[in-house]
Amino acid sequence: MTDIQPAKQESNRGEDGKFKPGVSGNPNGRPKGKTIAGIIREKIEQADENGKTKIDKLADILINKAMDGDFKALELIWNYMDGKPDQKIDLGDSDKIDALRNDINKLIGDAKAGTTTINFPPTDSMPVSA
């Protein structure tokens, strides 16, 4: 039986597997051609004989659904018109939050200095080993 080995191709990678300096992993660049988003954009921007585009028709459908009480359509319109509102989260007692922030900052400082010791108090859900 004869060992047939494939022809050795010149590699554009170094011995460490990384690309050599100045060498691209994709020398031809991104493939040319249309994306699905580009194709859809072209089609919805085409006007009919009355000058109305498909995007105009889609907007009309969405508005009519919202007017008929479709909450999802209404929500979509509001989100596109005004943007979603900021969501506020009440974290409760700001003094506790400040104390927690200080504790975290102290732990980070201790970790950077190499002096970190964390002692967790035992709880019912965390058994203490001797």
pLDDT tens for each residue of 21-69: 877 777 777 777 888 988 999 999 999 999 999 999 999 999 999 999 9
Phi, psi angle pair for 2, to nearest 5°: -100, 135
| Mean pLDDT (the chain, rounded) | 80
With a cut of 50, say whether residue 4 has pLDDT above it.
Answer: yes
CA distance 34 to 104: 50
